[in-house]
Chain A
Amino acid sequence: MNMYRYSSGQALIVVLMIALILGILIGAVFRFQQGQIHLLSRSAKDYLALCAAEAGVHAVLAEMKADYQFVTHGTPYIPLKGWSSPAKHKYWLVGDADGLQLDHAERGVYTGRITMKRTRITGEFKVRVKLAGSKNSVDTKTVDESHRYFVLESIGNVGDACRKVEAVIEKVTPGSFMQYDGQVLDLAELGPNRLVPGIVRRGRLYGQEMLKVGKRGPLDAGLELLDMEKISTPGYFKTTAGTRVTFRNGKSGHLKPDADSDLPEGFETFPEVGMGKVLTQFVLDGMRGGKSEKFPVLNPDYWRKARDPAPIILLPGFSFKGFGPSKWRNPAKPAEVVYDLKFPDKYLTNQAEAEDSSKPSDASSDDRGKTLIYSMVPLRIWGNPPFKALTLVCEKDVYIAGDFNQNPKNPQNWDLGWREYDKKLENGTDKNGVMVISLGRIWFDYSNPLNFLREELKTLLDYEIGMRLGGNELNPLAMVPITYPPRFGTTARDMRLPMLALNFNKIGTLFALPKTPPEVIPVTMGSLLVHPALKELREYFDPTSDPAAYKQRFCLKGFLARQKIVETIGGACYMTGALLPFERDIAIGMILERMEKEMDDEEPDRSLGIWNACDRLFKLAVKNPRTGFRMPEMTVNALLIDSAELNARWDSLDGTGKVTNELGNIDDKLMRCFRYAGDDTRVILRHHGGMIHLRNRKADVFLDGRLREDQPIIRRRSWDSTFVRGGGDYFPPYPPAAFNIITWRDETAAVEEFKAFE
Chain B
Amino acid sequence: MTRLILVPRGRCAAGTPGRQASSGLHCPARGVTLVEIMIGFALFLLLLLAVYRLFFAEIRSIRTALEHIGVNENARLFLSQFANDVRNSNRVVFPSPVMREVVPKLICTGEGKVCTFEGQALDFAVKPPDENFLKLTTVDWRLVRAKDGTFDLVRDINSEVPTRPGGPAPWRGTRAVCGGVKDMVVYTEIRRPVRFGSVPGLPLKSFIITEPYETDGTGPYLVHVRITFVRQGGGSGARSDAAHTIRTCFALRGRPNGVNP
> Which residue numbers of A lie inside 8 Å of B, CB to CB?
11, 15, 18, 21-22, 25-26, 29, 32-33, 36, 39-40, 43, 132-140, 143, 145, 148-149, 167-168, 170, 183-184, 208-210, 230, 233-236, 238, 240, 261-264, 272, 274-281, 286-287, 289, 291-292, 294, 646-653, 655, 657, 740-746
Given the contacts A209-B210, A287-B220, A29 and B62 also touching, CB distance less than 8 Å? yes
Pick from A135, A208, A240, A657: contact of B212, CB under 8 Å: A208
Is the C-beta of B74 less than 8 angstroms from some C-beta in chain A?
no
- Residues of A within 8 Å of B126, CB to CB, are 135
Q: A-B pairs with CB below 8 Å: how many?
A: 189
- Give A168 to B256 CA distance when docked, in angstroms: 12
Taken together as a complex, chains A and B put the C-alpha atoms of A525 and B208 apart, in Å, by 74
C-alpha gap A723/B80 in the complex (Å) = 45
Could you list some 15 contacts between A and B, CB below 8 A? A18-B51, A21-B55, A25-B62, A29-B65, A133-B124, A138-B129, A139-B260, A145-B128, A184-B209, A235-B213, A279-B259, A286-B212, A653-B200, A741-B253, A744-B87
A650 touches B202 (CB 8 A): yes
* A18→B59 CA distance, assembly (Å): 12
Provide the bound-state CA to CA distance between A648 and B205, in Å. Answer: 11
Q: Which residues of A contact B129 (CB under 8 A)?
A: 137-139, 274, 279
**Chain B: residues with CB nearer than 8 A to chain A?**
44, 47, 51, 55, 58-59, 62, 65-66, 69, 72-73, 76, 80, 84, 87-88, 90-91, 97, 119-122, 124, 126-129, 131, 134, 190, 193-196, 198-202, 205, 208-215, 219-220, 253-261
Assess the A651–B200 pair: CB atoms within 8 A: yes
**B255 cross-chain contacts in A, Cβ below 8 A:** 289, 291-292, 740-742
Task: Give the residue name and chain of the A residue nearest to B122 (CB).
Answer: A168
Given contacts A29-B65, A743-B254, whether A649 and B214 have CB atoms under 8 Å apart is no
Chain B residues near A238: list those with CB within 8 A. Answer: 194, 196
The answer to whether B122 and A286 touch across the interface, beta carbons within 8 angstroms, is no
Extra inter-chain contacts (10) besides given A145-B128, A743-B120, CB under 8 Å: A29-B66, A33-B69, A140-B260, A234-B214, A235-B209, A235-B210, A280-B259, A292-B255, A648-B202, A746-B88
Q: Find chain B residues with CB under 8 A from A657 CB.
A: 200-201
- Contact between A264 and B200, CB atoms less than 8 A apart: no
- In the complex, the answer to whether B202 meets A148 with C-beta atoms within 8 Å is no
CB-defined contacts of A287 to chain B, threshold 8 Å: 97, 190, 213, 219-220
Contact A43 B65, beta carbon cutoff 8 Å: no
Q: A22-B58, A653-B196 are in contact. Are A743 and B260 (CB under 8 A)?
A: no
- The answer on a CB contact under 8 Å between A235 and B211 is yes
Given the complex, which residues of A lie within 8 Å of B190, measured CB to CB?
Answer: 264, 287
Which 10 A-B pairs rank lowest in CB-CB distance, beginning with the nearest?
A744-B253, A289-B256, A280-B258, A234-B212, A135-B127, A137-B128, A280-B260, A235-B212, A277-B131, A279-B259
| Residues B209 and A132 in contact, CB atoms below 8 Å apart | no
Judge whether B69 and A286 touch: CB under 8 Å.
Answer: no
**Closest CB in chain B relative to A261 CB, distance in Å:** 6
Chain B neighbourhood of A263, CB < 8 A: 193
Tell me the smallest distance from the CB of A283 to a CB of chain B, in Å.
Answer: 12
Asked if A745 contacts B62 (CB within 8 A), the reply is: no
A135 and B128 contact, Cβ closer than 8 Å, known pairs A289-B256, A742-B255: yes
Pair A210/B209 contact, Cβ less than 8 Å: yes
State how many angstroms separate the Cβ of A536 from the closest Cβ of chain B. Answer: 53
Closest to A272 in B: B260
Q: Is the CB of A652 within 8 A of B253?
A: no
Task: Output the least CB separation between B92 and chain A (Å).
Answer: 10
| Closest-CB distance, A233 to chain B (whole angstroms) | 7
Q: Chain B residues near A32: list those with CB within 8 A.
A: 66, 69
| Residue contact A18 to B258, C-beta cutoff 8 Å | no
Whole-angstrom distance from the CB of B189 to the nearest CB of chain A?
A: 11
Q: Which residues of A contact B127 (CB under 8 A)?
A: 135-137
Contact partner, B254, options A149, A236, A741, Cβ 8 Å:
A741
**Which B residues touch A184, using CB under 8 A?**
205, 209
**Other-chain contact of B209, A139, A209, A280 (Cβ < 8 Å):** A209
Whole-angstrom distance between the alpha carbons of A26 and B55 in the complex? 11
Rounded to whole angstroms, the CA-CA distance of A278 and B88 in the bound complex is 20
Select one of B80, B121, B213, B261 contacting A148, CB under 8 A.
Answer: B261
Q: Which residues of A contact B213 (CB under 8 A)?
A: 234-235, 286-287
Q: Which chain B positions have C-beta within 8 A of A233?
A: 212
